[in-house]
Amino acid sequence: MALKKPLQTILTGVWRARNVRGFSAVPEGRVSSQSSQHLIDLEYQCSAHNYHPIPIVFSQAKGSTIWDPEGNRYVDFLSAYSAVNQGHCHPKIMKALVEQTEKLTLSSRAFYNDRFPVFAERLTSMFGYDMVLPMNTGAEGVETALKLARKWGYLKKKIPRDELFFFGGPRENLLEAIIVSCCGCFHGRTLAAISMSCDNEATRGFWPLLPGHLKIDFGDHRPLRKYLKKGDQIAGFLFEPIQGEAGVIIPPDGYLKTVRELCSKYNILMIADEIQSGLARSGRILACDWENVRPDVVILGKALGGGVLPVSAVLADKDVMLCIQPGEHGSTFGGNPLASAVAIASLDVIINERLPERSDKLGEELRQQLLKIQQQFPDLIKEVRGKGLFNAVELNSKALLPVTAYDLCLKLKERGILAKPTHDSIIRLTPPLTISLDELREGSKALQDVLEHDLAKMKKEKPNAPSHTASNTCDRCGRNLYGSS
Ligand SMILES: Cc1ncc(COP(=O)(O)O)c(C=O)c1O
């Protein structure tokens, strides 16, 4: 198919930018002396079983390509949950890492270092906020935003403390400053973050959850209006502009604008978790840019560290950020010079390689390819959705039974494509934003081949598994969030 002109221009720019020694080098033969199976067994034996990985061992990676220890090649369609938007081992990011490693790696914020102020200036000017608070992982960024919102709530909004607050919901969640969040959201794995979660696996056995929290439906104007207007005690509304872990759920047009209007009207901090949706993933630098909406607080993570180091950041204006005083919050590694140097390079790559535009155009291309597959298998594919290269294929779980999205991902892996399911019936497709058109087509072709050539055999061979309908019902809100027709 002939390339559309603007896409061609973007790609030419990226090919030129990639023409740096090392980025396109291909390993030959074995890349590691230990076999994949040995390493998988070793991890199973010595590491906690807190993940259920697809059995492929990454040994080397460049751009969108992964090699396992045996030298087999794969195309990455997960990007480490969008932490590798710039592509694996991007030469400019690696150069920044190596140069900084040789000079200084950690000062702690007990002292100043000569990289963090430069990173802080770069980030705040790029996103148009007064200040940044640096952390490491995304979950820490979320924790920071929650603490900031509570502090702002008491100091600036003058939320009364120890008063009982009653919305008609469960009382134990409704004392003091309240944070509202959305059903289906994912904000990380700390206790505060899982307190927002509708994921039974993430919360069961870890109670009691954090109080001061209220959940409402995502993407629906009505509960938002209903609850925020009674918002004297609400400090913040925390949300993902596009819900990633829930299966790339895109709110209806106008939703983000309504959130902005209501938060402004009722003096509630609009807190956008852009850890996964931000930094060009959705085809805009922030997913909130799709509606030209400016949140009060933005949380960044993942691709801020260019797939190299954990770097997260909370952005806000002085009125909010200065509610936190010295000694009240921080992290030994937050704002370290190595992370700062890497983050500056990661931002440079996003801008210089025009990754938002690239993600936008390639995302359209990918969805065109996926929609054609849906036309071929209308009973199997319920929906293709996405923005930019933030995409999901939702399968009809009944038509698929007893096969699951996880099983399909195993077959995709055999065909050289690495993707991960969310829930039983959704495959998320989020390749590095530097992926080539040919690699993108490899991904779609593999999915088509799995449905056309592998699925019937898989159904015959897999014993009927018990239905998972019960576990789809949220323990907390009672909704069946991930049920499929
Ligand atoms: C929207 C969102 N917020 C927070 C997090 C947590 O980030 P981390 O795993 O770096 O703690 C994630 C991770 O997937 C995420 O997608």
The two tokens of residue 408 are 């399909």
H-type helices in 112-174, by residue range?
Answer: 116-127, 138-155
State the average pLDDT over residues 191-213. 89
Same domain, 130 and 161: yes
Residue 273 annotated to the active site:
yes
User: Cβ–Cβ contacts within 10 Å for residue 47, how many?
Assistant: 9
| Ligand 1 pocket test, candidate residues 275, 286, 428, most atoms within 8 A of CB | 275
Percent of the chain scored above 90 by pLDDT? Answer: 81
Same domain, 178 and 230: yes
Q: What is the pLDDT of residues 439-468, one digit of tens each?
A: 999 999 999 999 999 999 999 998 876 555
Alpha carbon distance 472, 254 (integer Å):
28
Same domain, 167 and 68: no
Q: What is the pTM of this model?
A: 0.92
Q: Is 266 in the pocket of ligand 1 (CB under 6 A)?
A: no
Same domain, 80 and 131: no
Task: Evaluate whether residue 146 is within a structural domain.
Answer: yes
Same domain, 335 and 360: no
Same domain, 307 and 372: no
Domain count for the chain, please give it. 2
Amino acid at 57: V
Strand partners, 480: 473
Res. 481 pLDDT band, cuts 50 70 90: low
Q: Is 82 in the pocket of ligand 1 (CB under 6 A)?
A: no
Sign of CA dihedral 69, 70, 71, 74: negative
Q: 199: domain CATH number?
A: 3.40.640.10
User: Cβ–Cβ contacts within 10 Å for residue 403, how many?
Assistant: 25
Catalytic residue among 302, 361, 382, 413: 302
Same domain, 318 and 365: no
pLDDT at 12 over 50: no
Residue 302 annotated to the active site:
yes
User: Cβ–Cβ contacts within 10 Å for residue 158, how many?
Assistant: 9
Q: What is the pLDDT of residue 5?
A: 47
Q: Which of 322, 352, 382 is the last residue of a domain?
A: 352
Q: 43: domain CATH number?
A: 3.90.1150.10
Task: Evaluate whether residue 7 is within a structural domain.
Answer: no
Q: What is the pLDDT of residue 24?
A: 46
Cα–Cα distances (Å) from 30 to 68, 69, 462, in that order, read 8, 6, 33
Which of 172, 244, 183, 182 minimizes the C-alpha distance to 212? 172
Task: Evaluate whether residue 63 is within a structural domain.
Answer: yes
Alpha carbon distance 175, 156 (integer Å):
18
Strand partners, 390: 387
Task: Evaluate whether residue 469 is within a structural domain.
Answer: no
Phi and psi torsions of 247, nearest 5°? 120, 35
Write b or e for each residue in 159-176: b if 16 or more Cβ atoms lie within 10 A of its Cβ, otherwise e: beeeeebebebeeebbbb
**Domain range for 256:** 93-352
Contact 225, 262 (CB under 8 A): yes
Q: What is the pLDDT of residue 91?
A: 98
Q: What is the pLDDT of residue 175?
A: 59
Q: Is 440 in the pocket of ligand 1 (CB under 6 A)?
A: no
Task: Evaluate whether residue 470 is within a structural domain.
Answer: no
Alpha carbon distance 75, 362 (integer Å):
15
pLDDT at 172 over 80: no
CA of 31 to the centre of ligand 1 (A): 30
Average pLDDT in the chain = 90
Q: Is 309 in the pocket of ligand 1 (CB under 6 A)?
A: no
Q: Is 245 in the pocket of ligand 1 (CB under 6 A)?
A: yes
Task: Evaluate whether residue 406 is within a structural domain.
Answer: yes
The two tokens of residue 128 are 């148009």
Write b or e for each residue in 425-441: b if 16 or more Cβ atoms lie within 10 A of its Cβ, otherwise e: bbbbbbbbbbbbbebbe
Same domain, 181 and 246: yes
Range among 31-40, 98-107, 167-176 rated most confident: 98-107
Same domain, 75 and 165: no
| Residue ID of nearest Cα to ligand 1 atom 13 | 188
